[in-house]
Amino acid sequence: MESTSLFMLTIGGILLLGLVTSAIGRRTFLPRVTLLLIFGAMIGSNGLDWIPLEISRRFELVADVALLMVGFLLGEKLAIKSIRQFAAPIMWISLSAALVTASVVSLGLMWAGVPKSIAVVLGCIAAATAPAAVLDVAMESGAEGPFRNLLLAIVAIDDAWALILFGFGVAIATAATETNAFMMVLREIGGGIALGIVLGVPAAYLTGRLRKGQPILSEALGIVFVCGGLAIWLEVSFLIAAMVMGAMIANFAKHHEYPFHAIENIEWPFMVIFFVLAGATLELAALRDVGLIGGVYIVCRAIGKVLGARIGGELARADKKTRNWMGLALLPQAGVAIGMALVASNHLPEYRQTLLSVVIGSTVFFEIIGPVFTRLALKRVQYTVDAS
């Protein structure tokens, strides 16, 4: 009984916190994502240690559910009718931001004396972003228009590029003696795409029939959870599977305009719990361990994202606002990078400590600071649009 009571009190307190952070976020320059992460760190094991163990143990489940919803909602941003005018910027900016970031970080780390193999792997990991943080900041900011839509579309495919680069990076680092890492990445991406198509196409035609034109909440949650469960069971990327499924429904469901819009109404409670628990589990001590290598990684990643987005914007002939601000909007980095570091450390056990220290430490930094720049970019672009 005590355990149940503690669980309910903690979840209730975290949800009420979401209301407070939203109010504070509207009155300060800090987005609510950053505020939730900071609060989570304060009450987590590194601070006041107020999060019960029973809650912390369920973080992986909460994270999976939240990211499934994020993936599905981002997939809807990939509807052909919505991205037709942004097709070139999406591909050029996302690919350029990933490639340039990987190159700048790799070269910077080599200059700092890091062995070539580890520098390349860390460079590839640096290409990953944080879809959940970017989506929430975009929704919280209230920004509308082409820049916001382009940002969400880029984030939707950004981690796919990062995973592909990571597969090549690990293969290079292991001097081609191991091909299973690259094949594993291809299986994770390809399997996620295939699963998203297999579930998304029939769902596009079958959903939204019980209540004409409006898919009901049970349909939305049912298909998303089935997608996540199958993806985890098949060991493919559930984030990519959910994105592809959302894209399939958005493109093929002609009988309802906003596929599964009900998810947007319940996503925020899961996101509140997700970000608070993410903050509570941040390894703040890793910030002290990153040293010169971590500092170079952080600086080079920021330069790479800004420079890469600008180059991609030039190639796609994007407008000046997009070229100037898109890179800053792509700075958040989250759990995907840590997952890559864990995989890489299994293939390169002698560099395990370096990989995990740098990636975990930089992730803490970019998870807290990155959303601030995303919000700044959205506000500045919105301001210039309104002023004109």
Q: In percent, how much of the chain has pLDDT > 90?
A: 20
Q: Of how many residues is the chain composed?
A: 388
pLDDT band at 211 (very low <50, low <70, confident <90, very high): low
Query: Is the pLDDT confidence value at 198 over 90?
Result: yes
What is the spatial distance between Cα 118 and Cα 363, in angstroms, rounded to a whole number? Answer: 17
Q: Which of 27-36, 234-243, 357-366 has the lowest mean pLDDT?
A: 27-36
What is the spatial distance between Cα 166 and Cα 163, in angstroms, rounded to a whole number? Answer: 5
Query: Per-residue pLDDT tens for 277-304?
Result: 877 777 666 666 667 888 899 999 999 9
DSSP one-letter string for 213-274: TS--HHHHHHHHHHHHHHHHHHTS-HHHHHHHHHHHHHHH--S-SSTTTHHHHHHHHHHHHH
Helix axes 320-329, 352-387, angle to 10 degrees: 140
pTM: 0.80
pLDDT for 352 equals 77
Helix axes 131-141, 352-387, angle to 10 degrees: 20
Question: Do 288 and 100 touch, CB atoms closer than 8 A?
Answer: no
pLDDT for 327 equals 93
Q: What is the mean pLDDT of residues 23-51?
A: 78
Sign of CA dihedral 277, 281, 285, 291: negative
Query: Is the pLDDT confidence value at 382 over 80?
Result: no
Q: What is the mean pLDDT of residues 197-213?
A: 76
Query: Is the pLDDT confidence value at 356 over 60?
Result: yes
314 compared with 161, residue with greater pLDDT: 314
pLDDT for 179 equals 52
pLDDT for 194 equals 93
Q: Which helix (H) or strand (E) holds 67?
A: helix 59-76
Question: Do 364 and 282 touch, CB atoms closer than 8 A?
Answer: yes
What is the spatial distance between Cα 102 and Cα 224, in angstroms, rounded to a whole number? Answer: 32
Tell me which residue has tokens 């170079």.
296
pLDDT for 265 equals 66
Q: What is the mean pLDDT of residues 93-121?
A: 92
Q: What is the mean pLDDT of residues 242-252?
A: 86
pLDDT for 305 equals 95
In the 8-state DSSP scheme, what is residue 350? G
Can you point out the beta strands (E) in 320-364? none
Domains of the chain, each with CATH number or no CATH? 2-387 (1.20.1530.20)
Query: How much is the mean pLDDT over the chain?
Result: 81
Q: What is the mean pLDDT of residues 237-256?
A: 81
pLDDT band at 126 (very low <50, low <70, confident <90, very high): very high
Q: What is the mean pLDDT of residues 116-133?
A: 89
pLDDT band at 1 (very low <50, low <70, confident <90, very high): very low
Sign of CA dihedral 316, 322, 324, 329: negative
Token duo for residue 314: 């030039």
